[in-house]
Amino acid sequence: MFVGCERFFRPGYNANLVDGWIPALDGVEEKLLAGAAVADVGCGHGASTVLMAQAFPNSLFTGVDYHRASVQEARKRAAEAGVHNRVTFEQAAAHDFDGGPYDLVATFDSLHDMGNPQAAAARIATVLAPGGTWMIVEPSAGDAVADNLNPVGRVYYSFSSFLCVPNALSQEGDYALGAQAGEQAIRSITEAAGFGRFERVAETPFNKVYEVRF
């Protein structure tokens, strides 16, 4: 399952993360080029973390995931890519990871999988540096069921039903985003955590990218 998730999403990260998504964020690319602290929460095997570390050699990166075997694999990937001196991986839940302040916190296709996304958002709010940015990358979804009645939406509903929703409900927490969480559901999570700025800054057929700031 963990290998399959990485194989599904990694091509989109390879094609869009460095050249499209990060430049779409207000002032973030400049910070990363100069040297910034970044947390990748729900990093899995570290595909997104390693990509950013390779592109921005002056910045430091922390990958966070609650799955021990994924963290071990991520460390191996960072070593193979030659970025292990600037990348660390921590086994922790999204609502209690350490470190900070971070200039950028990113969640790549992971927020909807969390058993307590509201607590994760609250934690991210406490570890962001002044002027910091939370980049949320989520599977492309509309707010209404009818918005998702397309080939991609049908695939994602299938994934959600047998993987994402059961995974979220199996964790501690009293709220899960559910199948095909649209923009309004994600916005509500950020607003409840105290964030005042929420903007969709990029999208592909498979993902939507949101910039969240105070």
- Per-residue pLDDT 10s for the chain (214 aa) are 888 889 999 999 999 999 999 999 999 999 999 999 999 999 999 999 999 999 999 999 999 999 999 999 999 999 999 999 999 999 999 999 999 999 999 999 999 999 999 999 999 999 999 999 999 999 999 999 999 999 999 999 998 888 889 989 888 887 889 888 999 999 999 999 999 999 999 999 999 999 999 9
CATH number, position 74: 3.40.50.150
- Picking from 86, 195, 207, the residue whose alpha carbon sits closest to that of residue 132 is 195
Element (H, E) at 40: strand 37-41
Domain that holds residue 109: 2-213
pLDDT for 88-101, tens place per residue?
999 999 999 999 99
Q: Rounded to two decimals, what is the model's pTM?
A: 0.96
Region for residue 49 given its phi and psi (left: phi exceeds 0; alpha: psi -120 to 50; beta: otherwise): alpha
Domain count for the chain: 1
**Residue 162 burial by Cβ neighbours in a 10 Å radius (0-12, 13-18, 19+):** exposed
